[in-house]
A and B are shown apart, each in its own frame.
Chain A
């Protein structure tokens, strides 16, 4: 490609470029999801008005942001370290999946330990002890002091606390 064209198409503000694309994507998803909703009868604004209108506006803003990213300088994308987000998400998901099937006594340490692994400074043994302590504290507080109806320990077929 000739150098001038290359320069013209350069993304000068990568962060805004990706941001703009993200907005367009959200807008498209919104429009798709609101497909089957009816836009309303004569005097009653239907359930589709806001979702469709907003999705459309988002798409427009996204396009604007993408255009601006090609014309003006902006922030670079920067580092996106994945260790933290992945472990935290897995930890929270583990809690969600285990709290009603295995109980808080299992879910608590799970979320603390799995998400704790997301920090480069974790010390595994310290984390395990801490996780168990915090969970014990929570069980005492929420179940026995506050009577929150949260399952503590479930062993299928044998035990339900």
Chain B
């Protein structure tokens, strides 16, 4: 215990130096401002802002980088709420209820609760990391491909719960997402799948392209349908921040979301992705009136946003303790660290204790910064919604096109996004939902990869999934979740299943 306190003291003394506080502030601010631009997700933001960290000492530079990361994450959530464009995977769930709240004139409450929930989650996650980093990682290393596969199956079960309407239609969307995730070069054999010999598709479809097209741009198209309604329905902004009622409703979801997010974020290999989905599914199941979800229920923002931030913080653990980045953003951080002369690895904790504990303490500082920066900003963001839509959407499109282009410097990505926009619009018109499609896409990749890897290692014996205890447990949980999702609808009558 005293060890922990001593380490935290060391960390805070580093993180609270005037320079480092300043760097954390600038990092968070810049990260938020850039992350808020539609189309620019955390990876693009960090890549773009990386050079400005070069002038500083390694610890300072990393603190700034971490600030940029949190800022970008939060900026992505902001765009998800305001204009229905998820900046990255974890923001998809926020679009479901967050954007609905914005349409009802409650954007301020949504943004505010997202900030508050994120702050709480950040604090808790920081403590967890500080106290349990090393032993947690050992636990996480027990996760092999079979366990990951089963975890992803559980994730798909969550996707079904996510569905606002008919289950079979949501299933169809998940399947299409799965199909889209197979486009590209097969990892194992190098064969090209579903690419129709187009170079643009050889590396698969980028998440940003799909999310932007099917959710973001399609939303624009939908809004263009009834322009008069949209401008006229400008509700009086009312409360800018969440009120008492909102806070009361959100307390439980925030705590639960934090726990779920932290637990999943520790799993190296992008377990953090599932956090928001799991939290949403959990809240929907626990709520007294689940029909409110999908129509602007604040719990649907509070829980996932907390899970989101908890996951983002705890995904630093595998990086700081093992030196192995759990996802693409962390891989970028590793590169950034390497450029600054620090090679992250298991010895950083002991050899470079100042760095390790300084970063952990600065996580808390960064979270505080985010809260301080964003609560006032809520007022400004909400004002943006006042811009007449006929001008706002071309602006959104310009930013988004640049953002998509900047991901891989590829114009064909932009064209692909346009195509997906039309596809997404058609899907919406046909009564399908697009969030399950994206979830199917994200999980599809991870699921298939791990399925084939697990089978490779088990030399083809499918029994490996039930022989290994953790995997069997996860599969069992998936079955339970699926049953809980489908049974009520089946009871209501088989026919109604198809038509809501």
Contacts and interface: CB of A to CB of B under 8 A. Distances in A.
Chains A, B in direct contact (C-beta < 8 Å): yes
Interface of A: 13, 15-16, 18-19, 22-23, 26, 30, 33-34, 37-38, 42-48, 50-51, 54-55, 57-58, 61-62, 64-65, 68, 71-75, 77-81, 83-85, 88-89, 91-93, 95-97, 99-100, 104, 107-108, 111-113, 115-116, 118-123, 126-127, 130-131, 134-135, 138, 142, 146-150
B225 interface: yes
B186 A68 contact: no
Contacts of B231: 121
A16 B397 contact: no
A69 to B, nearest CB: 8
A34 B193 contact: yes
A104 B189 CA distance: 39
Question: What is the predominant secondary structure among interface residues of chain B facing chain A?
Answer: helix
Nearest to A42: B460
A61 B168 contact: yes
Question: What is the predominant secondary structure among interface residues of chain A facing chain B?
Answer: helix
Contacts of A81: 224-225
Contacts of A89: 418-419, 421-422
B373 interface: no
Contacts of A55: 179
A62 B417 CA distance: 25
A47 B186 contact: yes
B48 A80 contact: no
B401 interface: yes
B401 A107 contact: yes
Contact of B179 (A46, A54, A85, A92): A54
A13 B499 contact: yes
A68 B495 contact: yes
B258 to A, nearest CB: 33
Interface string B415-426: 101110110011
Contacts of B499: 13, 16, 68, 72-75
A77 B144 CA distance: 47
Interface string B219-251: 011001101100100000000000000000000
A58 B179 contact: yes
